[in-house]
Structure 1
């Protein structure tokens, strides 16, 4: 058995600067202003995805896992369901993990083959199950009632889908309760440690030999790697037990979910996939035995750090002795940060109206507010930033996942444009090239949507 070492995989990003990408963002902003993608009147808010850095991170993930293990890295579509983003991820070699009919439609539109799509959801409808099984999409069954539905559908028509059951290993929660899915009372999966449940699950697998997979997901941001490894180890132990009791290798694939915490403090362009693999090698050593194919479901750790949102400062004021910058970026695109600021803080950078970085030589304590009509619409509280003035630009960093791609329709604010960025090299004269990921929404479209 090969136990992966983190040192094996660090060379993938060795040539990339990891201290600050402020200059790179400045070049993107200046080019976006020149191209009219950012404008104080016509386009005061826009989001950008850096294709080159995204590809670098995907390749880093693929190199982190041992080459002798068949592994499908399925991107969690909920993190960014925009079809051009999904198309790029497919081109970079990823599969897709979906949790609704809408996400499945987006993945198919992006060109993912059904056999490279995994369907997770605790509330799959009859229609969703029939569609997935007809297409040959893989399924992770959430509960025994869903299993009965799948059995009925399979009795009516065969399917090429790979099917398994989601297990809750009940190993505990991380720092963010809402992001933890392996607690005692989690809504997801079948609880492995509840009285009598382990035996019932094993008997269910043996009675249904077409169940050839097993799945777990411990949680997302806030879950330490050893906790994730404990949950995965429980999954491997369960699969081994089923296969021993069945007398053959019935479970062939283990879906270990995602959940790698994201570094929201630096510009390091690659996520800690090598460290993740090393911790799994120590905490769940049978995982890399070669007896099982693997599926992963990373989302935020793939994309978060490779996107940012830019917004013009409309007004500034002083309130209670503190400076406040009112911008066009708020709860409508930074929903988690606004409503759970302690759990989801964002780095903020200041730029001039022309897109040049503002000096950090002199800073003042400021709030950065959004446009939504409620008092808590703040993306940063008491933050030390260069003094901001009307016409400046603020950049919300690490927002490639779960931000501009998942808008909140508060105040009927228009959805901002999202643009892919291609850059060859990091030199000062590199000219970014843009592609449209999603057009900025027009007011007429808002009216139509409301009818």
Structure 2
């Protein structure tokens, strides 16, 4: 469920008509619903209320500081994968003891920064990483809580570019090596083992891969405890998918996912951490775009929008589907027309969809890409020297720009010509 609904024939974000935002801010623009973000966070929180837990929002999904503050004020933790994301979470007022630092390539500078600022735990992904962290933490006179991310070699049955739990993926330590790794960790200064970490991928629409991975984690927990290690915390990652195509069957809901967690690891008495991102933010955002031209091609018509692959790269990168709807509701029984929906960027890959059935549209009409809240604005670029897309947050009848569109002068002013080239 989301809070983007038609009222009197006009698509609204909560109580705000989207044409009002489009007219004021211009297009393309991202619009987020605070009510949807909070609802989805609370669903995960309630799904785990059978035991101690922390829902750590995956900042990489949508990292605007306003969104992080909204969730942080509700009690969410944060899962970060870079110093920049850590700084955003802290700027949003989230305390260090609710921030988990993940990622396969943490630098020494990033490690020092989060240790100085405070961190709940660091999820370790390789032998060189934990040896480096041990040296840094001990030199700082700090003992840092850590988990080890194990790779359970489970097929998440998702897109190959967002699968992370198979042996061929770059993430984590093979679960077969875990006992030796934990044995070495026990000898290293500056590190305090608190648990196990696992994450098998994103946009999962089947609970069986979660079940299999968590069963392996449960077995490993009992083995490591028998070896004398303290395993009090299980970080189970994120990955639950969202319904990008409204016509398809909906993926499992957080309550069903929470039951899988309880079934497989609930008996261990561990504090549970999860790291959802897409399901919290995905359906909480739309991308608004205006029609520039309707172009008749050879055997097809092109709907050319002012949004492009640099604003929403998921279709070009993953072949991803987004429902596209006009801001003015289509009348029942209206004739639909197949369009190739494209952007203005000078790439054939700048194609959102082909032969999509839409009502007849004309220049200046505005459409919304649904389910664009996750991995939309965060993956945007300035390719073709197009300014970054602005972001807007709606709460009830109030709305504010939370990241403005930079002017061309501001974009160009970030660059400089060296003196030796300037005459």
- Paired residue for 1:412? 385
CA distance in 1, matches of 2:361, 2:57: 37
Q: Spell out, residue by residue over 1:150-203, the C-alpha distance to the aligned partner (whole angstroms, 9 max, x if none).
A: 22123223335321111111123423111111112110110113xxx2431242
Residues 36-47 of structure 1 correspond to what in structure 2 (within 5 A)? 37-39=21-23, 43-47=26-30
Q: Describe the shift of the 1:160–1:113 C-alpha distance in structure 2 as closer, same or farther (beyond 3 A).
A: farther
Q: Spell out, residue by residue over 1:291-329, the C-alpha distance to the aligned partner (whole angstroms, 9 max, x if none).
A: 100111110111100110111101101112222111111
Q: Describe the shift of the 1:302–1:25 C-alpha distance in structure 2 as closer, same or farther (beyond 3 A).
A: farther
2:254 paired residue among 273, 276, 284: 273
1:141 paired residue among 108, 111, 124: 124
CA distance in 2, matches of 1:90, 1:109: 11
Instruction: State the Cα distance separating 1:290 from its structure 2 match.
Output: 5.6
Partner-residue secondary structure (3-state), 2:413? helix
Are residue 380 (structure 1) and residue 365 (structure 2) matched? no
Are residue 333 (structure 1) and residue 314 (structure 2) matched? no
Residues 411-450 of structure 1 correspond to what in structure 2 (within 5 A)? 411-423=384-396, 432-450=397-415
Are residue 90 (structure 1) and residue 72 (structure 2) matched? yes
Are residue 308 (structure 1) and residue 286 (structure 2) matched? yes
How many residue pairs get matched? Answer: 409
Runs (4 or more) in structure 1 with deviation over 4 Å come to 267-271
Q: Describe the shift of the 1:330–1:293 C-alpha distance in structure 2 as closer, same or farther (beyond 3 A).
A: same
- Paired residue for 2:420? none
CA distance in 1, matches of 2:360, 2:276: 37
Q: Describe the shift of the 1:161–1:207 C-alpha distance in structure 2 as closer, same or farther (beyond 3 A).
A: closer
Instruction: State the Cα distance separating 1:17 from its structure 2 match.
Output: 8.5
Q: Which runs of 5+ in 1 are unaligned?
A: 1-15, 424-431
Tell me whether 75-84 or 263-272 shows the greater mean CA deviation: 263-272
Instruction: State the Cα distance separating 1:272 from its structure 2 match.
Output: 0.9
- Give the TM-score, by structure 1 length: 0.85
Contact 2:59–2:78 under 8 Å retained in 1: yes
Instruction: State the Cα distance separating 1:443 from its structure 2 match.
Output: 1.1
CA distance in 1, matches of 2:224, 2:16: 58
1:241 paired residue among 207, 220, 223: 223
Partner-residue secondary structure (3-state), 1:21? strand
- Give the TM-score, by structure 2 length: 0.90
Instruction: State the Cα distance separating 1:91 from its structure 2 match.
Output: 1.5
CA distance in 1, matches of 2:2, 2:172: 41
Instruction: State the Cα distance separating 1:223 from its structure 2 match.
Output: 6.0
1:289 paired residue among 263, 267, 279: 267
1:111 paired residue among 70, 76, 93: 93
- Paired residue for 2:321? 345
CA distance in 2, matches of 1:188, 1:17: 32
Residues 249-264 of structure 1 correspond to what in structure 2 (within 5 A)? 250-264=230-244
Are residue 358 (structure 1) and residue 319 (structure 2) matched? no
CA distance in 1, matches of 2:222, 2:82: 31
Are residue 213 (structure 1) and residue 195 (structure 2) matched? yes
Instruction: State the Cα distance separating 1:416 from its structure 2 match.
Output: 1.9
CA distance in 1, matches of 2:205, 2:187: 34
CA distance in 1, matches of 2:329, 2:144: 51
Instruction: State the Cα distance separating 1:252 from its structure 2 match.
Output: 0.9
CA distance in 1, matches of 2:2, 2:129: 48
- After superposition, the CA RMSD in angstroms is 2.4
Instruction: State the Cα distance separating 1:262 from its structure 2 match.
Output: 1.3
Contact 2:239–2:276 under 8 Å retained in 1: yes
Instruction: State the Cα distance separating 1:447 from its structure 2 match.
Output: 0.7
CA distance in 2, matches of 1:224, 1:204: 36
Instruction: State the Cα distance separating 1:405 from its structure 2 match.
Output: 3.2
Partner-residue secondary structure (3-state), 1:27? strand
